[in-house]
Structure 1
């Protein structure tokens, strides 16, 4: 015969602790997910310049205009292009360095921080 302790299930306290832990993790995910989606959209905007021959982007000004238009279409706000993006033309290609940081308040004085830092090489059309 088995003892009563070995047949016991989860107590109410255990269930409440697990649910609160899941809620904290879900809150963090839902706060940071939009920033990662914005970053992926920016990546796509930058790399699409190479594939879109009709746009005929040849200068840094045209590239910046294309980026700002793409950000407006994708509703990406809160990122200053002048600070986040550095563009150079070297060896018949754009060298784009995308570097910025996003902070979200989490619990009282704790913040969630996402740092995005990626370099792209986009060939001129």
Structure 2
């Protein structure tokens, strides 16, 4: 009988649930995750709309025949509708080749996370009219063009 009471007490003690420190840890992890998502989420949403803008441009056709101003105007219209501002809009570069046009949106964002900790996010989306089906992954390394600074 005493053994049975002891095992019941031990069973009840094991079912008490999480301690104060356990709950504090869960809340801290949840709060950190929420902070990270709220700080970095908008940048990834903008990157999604940048990719959608390039896809829309590629489906439009005739990008090769459009002037640089027309291409930028079309992208700017799409970005305005989808509330994309700042660095992605300013980073549109157009490079014309012999048989294709490359529309590149390559930018880097630095977002303060907390106190003196920043997160750096790099985004590189490209539309090559020679291979529009491969939109929006970077196919060309633009570092060679940056050194010449002629784009």
Normalising by structure 2, report the TM-score: 0.67
Cα distance change on mapping 1:99 and 1:55 into 2, 3 Å:
closer
Q: Is the 8 A contact 2:57 2:63 kept in 1?
A: yes
**Where do 5+ consecutive residues of structure 2 fail to align?**
1-6, 131-151
**Where do 5+ consecutive residues of structure 1 fail to align?**
none
Q: Is the 8 A contact 2:79 2:89 kept in 1?
A: no
How much does 1:55 deviate? 8.6
Question: Which structure's residues are more often helix, by fraction?
Answer: 2
Distance 1:33 1:75 in 2: 14
| Mapped pair 1:15 → 2:32 | no
Please say which structure displays the higher CA radius of gyration. Answer: 2
Q: What do you get for the CA RMSD once the two structures are aligned?
A: 2.5
How many residue pairs get aligned? The number is 122
How much does 1:92 deviate? 3.9
Compare relative contact order (CA 8 Å, sep 6+) and give the higher one, 1 or 2: 1
